[in-house]
Chain A
Amino acid sequence: MNIQNLEKSTWFYLCITLLLFILPMVITERSLQFIIIQIFIFGIFAMSYDLLLGYTGIISFGHVIFFGLGAYTTGIALDRLGATIGSLVIGAFIGVLLAAFVSLLVGMLTLRLKSHFYAMLTLALSGLFLVAAEKWRPMTGGNDGFTFRLPDIIREPNHLYILCLIFFVLIFFGLRRLTNSPFGKVLMAIRENENRTTSLGYKVVYYKVIASIVSGVVASLAGVLYALSLRFVNTGVFATDLTIDVLLMTIIGGVGTLIGPIIGAGLVELAHHWLSSLADVHWIFERWIILYGTLYILVVIFFPLGIIGTIRSKLAGRNK
């Protein structure tokens, strides 16, 4: 079995899933577990972004809106209604509903037009949500944010790890099925040639709006898990930096590949962690963001289609 077939094999992913489930028994260090949890969360977030950018060809500069909604509704529900599973479910459910509604609204308003209108409206809306979160202090705690307690059952880090992993795996397999479904193939056709897709009789705008809703809902679930992992929410969850991060994760890993954004999320999270911790070694590493930028440039030069995209392309060339 060659690497390309391996990539298509469900058994391969199930084996990796199994390994990830037993990982907490091997890696017991809390900080390392926390990084892996963050990789799961940003992996989910990046996959949701990839559904838009990589599969449908829609650029969003405000994908963080949905992430932030999930984080805030979860935080507020757990803070106000008490640290119970019921509050968590209510918070997450409201976050998902709001994300679906906002993505439907933005999609209906802009997806009939050229793709940059979607990018611009999402950028403007993310700014609006950021300001709203800053100003609505009684509810959000403003810039300072607020901390909250987790339900007992997920207070144990291993349990939170398992929860995040379950969501990560379900969302991965769900999106994998979606992108390999008749619907997913139409999304790819839209990315490739929107006018041609229309002339084949597809109502392109419906597909784009549905993709936008699915993507928004998945991003909000990433936000829910993010709030749980930090036990804290502040306006940072609406910051444009996060959208840039998720854009880079997707591009570095390889757009239109699903696995790519996960690899991208892993690399970016590890780079964040290790480069910033190098400050203890030498003062030059206090400016780690410069090294981070250099890393991006190198990846773009040597992996123009992203890591997975470039590897796939090279393998396809070799097999010809």
Chain B
Amino acid sequence: MGVIMETKDVTVSFGGHVAVDQVSVQILERKFTSIIGPNGAGKTTFFNLLSGQMKPTNGSIYFKGADVTKRSATERTRLGIGRSFQITNVFPNLTVFENVRLAVQSQAKVRYQMFAHFNQYKQFQEKTDEILALVFLQDKANSLAMNLAHGEKRKLEIAMLLALETELLLLDEPTAGMSLEEVPAIIDVIHEIKQQGNRTIVLIEHKMDMIMGMSDEVLVLYHGELIAKGTPNEIVHNEIVQSAYLGGGG
């Protein structure tokens, strides 16, 4: 199993505060890796570094062996790194269908086409329908994104991410802010993507049962440092993790 993404001594600091401190990890291809840690541990900042939203102060980031440290978020998306956001980040005044179609279109070579009506691109419509069905949003295709319930917006986020057809999916707390009733639907969606087996998934989550049930590997961040990594079982029994995060006394 090859390494799809790797960080070497990645550090980012804001003034005197070190948000991510010399983190070196390897993300294995087609595996499900989760990142856990208490609030403020630097998980989302680490995601920002992987996706290119933020550049590291020190260290290097590699994607499929190539140094992407200085590549922009746009370039990294095109290389195959897609991410969803912790705070819902969709196009509110566009319909659900249009949101997903924009993501589908970004993968085609018609981005600058100004003289053809978008309805001419049947392949976009079909692909969009397919993805909406996968995340169980086909009934909401014509609703404005702003009118969706929170859980549905999270599904839409994932749909847009899937439409990018990136090899690596970075999911930042996909169940954040959801009611208990909404969570299983998202878990089903993520489970479905995992079952397809053609993507590498990196997940940030607080819901431990979800992490432990799905992950092949778990990384634990604490105050910006990587304090442990291993299988879910190893992490549960790791004393450092127990004292730092899981609340156990060890």
**B111 partner, pick from A183, A188, A192, beta carbons under 8 A:** A183
Query: How far is it, in angstroms, between the C-alpha of A201 and the C-alpha of B105 when the chains are bound?
Result: 10
Q: Are the CB atoms of B160 and A182 closer together than 8 Å?
A: no
Q: When A185-B98, A193-B89, A193-B90 are in contact, do A201 and B74 touch as well, CB less than 8 Å?
A: yes
**B91 partner, pick from A178, A196, A198, beta carbons under 8 A:** A196
Using Cβ atoms and an 8 Å threshold, which residues of chain A touch B74? Answer: 198-199, 201-204
Q: When A182-B105, A185-B105, A186-B102 are in contact, do A200 and B164 touch as well, CB less than 8 Å?
A: yes
Q: Are the CB atoms of A183 and B77 closer together than 8 Å?
A: no
Q: Are the CB atoms of B102 and A185 closer together than 8 Å?
A: yes
Any B CB within 8 A of the CB of A4: no
Using Cβ atoms and an 8 Å threshold, which residues of chain A touch B101? Answer: 185
Query: How far is it, in angstroms, between the C-alpha of A188 and the C-alpha of B113 when the chains are bound?
Result: 14
Any B CB within 8 A of the CB of A115: no
Any A CB within 8 A of the CB of B228: no
Can you name the residue of chain B whose Cβ is closest to the Cβ of A178?
Answer: B114
Query: How far is it, in angstroms, between the C-alpha of A181 and the C-alpha of B120 when the chains are bound?
Result: 9
Any A CB within 8 A of the CB of B176: no
Q: When A181-B114, A181-B115 are in contact, do A200 and B89 touch as well, CB less than 8 Å?
A: no
**A182 partner, pick from B92, B94, B121, beta carbons under 8 A:** B121
Per DSSP, chain B at the interface is loop
Any A CB within 8 A of the CB of B1: no
Using Cβ atoms and an 8 Å threshold, which residues of chain A touch B115? Answer: 177-178, 181
Interface size on A, residues (CB 8 A): 25
B102-122 vs A, CB cutoff 8 Å, 1 = contact: the mask equals 110111101111111111010
Any A CB within 8 A of the CB of B53: yes
Using Cβ atoms and an 8 Å threshold, which residues of chain A touch B117? Answer: 177, 180-181
Any A CB within 8 A of the CB of B11: no
Q: Are the CB atoms of B90 and A199 closer together than 8 Å?
A: no
Query: How far is it, in angstroms, between the C-alpha of A178 and the C-alpha of B118 when the chains are bound?
Result: 10
Any B CB within 8 A of the CB of A210: yes
Query: How far is it, in angstroms, between the C-alpha of A206 and the C-alpha of B114 when the chains are bound?
Result: 13
Per DSSP, chain A at the interface is helix
Any B CB within 8 A of the CB of A277: no
Query: How far is it, in angstroms, between the C-alpha of A188 and the C-alpha of B144 when the chains are bound?
Result: 14
Any A CB within 8 A of the CB of B215: no
List residues of B (117-161) whose CB comes within 8 Å of A's CBs. Answer: 117-119, 121, 160
**A181 partner, pick from B73, B107, B116, beta carbons under 8 A:** B116
Any B CB within 8 A of the CB of A9: no
Using Cβ atoms and an 8 Å threshold, which residues of chain A touch B83? Answer: 199
Any A CB within 8 A of the CB of B51: yes
Q: Are the CB atoms of B77 and A185 closer together than 8 Å?
A: no
B51-74 vs A, CB cutoff 8 Å, 1 = contact: the mask equals 101000000000000000000111
A250-293 vs B, CB cutoff 8 Å, 1 = contact: the mask equals 00000000000000000000000000000000000000000000
Can you name the residue of chain B whose Cβ is closest to the Cβ of A202?
Answer: B106
Using Cβ atoms and an 8 Å threshold, which residues of chain A touch B105? Answer: 182, 185-186
Q: Are the CB atoms of B94 and A188 closer together than 8 Å?
A: yes
Q: Are the CB atoms of A193 and B118 closer together than 8 Å?
A: no
Q: When A185-B118, A189-B94 are in contact, do A199 and B111 touch as well, CB less than 8 Å?
A: no
Which among A178, A200, A206 has the highest number of chain B CB atoms within 10 Å? A200
Q: When A182-B121, A188-B94, A192-B94 are in contact, do A201 and B77 touch as well, CB less than 8 Å?
A: yes
Any B CB within 8 A of the CB of A195: yes
Any A CB within 8 A of the CB of B78: yes
* A-B pairs with beta carbons under 8 Å apart, 7 shown: A182-B113, A184-B114, A188-B91, A192-B94, A197-B102, A198-B74, A206-B112
Closest 3 A/B residue pairs (Cβ): A201-B77, A192-B91, A183-B114
Interface residues of A, Cβ cutoff 8 Å to B: 177-178, 180-186, 188-189, 192-193, 195-204, 206, 210
Interface residues of B, Cβ cutoff 8 Å to A: 51, 53, 72-74, 77-78, 83, 89-94, 98, 101-103, 105-108, 110-119, 121, 160, 164
